[in-house]
Amino acid sequence: MPRTTVRSSLRSTFAAVVAVVCAAAVSAQSEGGLYTAGAGFSFQVAAERAMSQNAGGRRFFLLSLPPETAALSATAPAALATLRNRVVAANGVLLICQRDIDNGRITPAGLAPGVVAVRGWPQPGNSELPHGLRYFTNEDPANLPAADAALRQLRSTCA
């Protein structure tokens, strides 16, 4: 194979790899952050902060911990339901911890549609989340942060 063809092929391969890496980085950067209600912040404060810092439709994540989960109930008071709907309309993803369902602090049947339960890190020795993978087999990656730091923080909080 002539030298120029090899160089051209290497350039094309390099350009393709750079494009894939840049696309992943842009995807993570175009996402907003992870906000937590219940860690010293009410749902209202966390929601308002998340929406103000992610104007323009940038996707963000709002994790609610008990007792700040009332807004996620299908029977939430009107003011909280309106705020919850504003979060969703602003491209927010509403999250709760699976452990709060497992320990009975949250009843999944009473949740508003679209609330996503997130699992924490598995116990040591558990192979449900194989080394090097980011998601459990039954999780939809579209509902979780693309940024590694945000996903690690989410898993740690829900562990």
Please give the model's pTM, rounded to 2 decimal places: 0.77
Selection from 71, 68, 6 nearest residue 42 by Cα: 68
Mean pLDDT for the stretch of residues 96-107: 96
- φ, ψ of residue 91 to 5 degrees: the values are 80, 30
Q: What pLDDT, on the 0 to 100 scale, is given for residue 135?
A: 82
**Angle (CA) 50 56 57, round 5°:** 70
Neighbours of 77 (CB within 10 A): 11
**pLDDT exceeding 70 applies to what percent of the chain?**
77
Q: What pLDDT, on the 0 to 100 scale, is given for residue 136?
A: 81
Rounded to the nearest integer, the mean pLDDT of the chain is 83
Q: Cα–Cα distance between 94 and 116 in angstroms, integer?
A: 6
Query: What confidence category does residue 76 fall into, taking pLDDT thresholds of 50, 70 and 90?
Result: very high
pLDDT digits (tens, 9 = 90+) for 16-61: 333 333 333 444 457 999 999 997 999 999 999 999 999 888 999 9
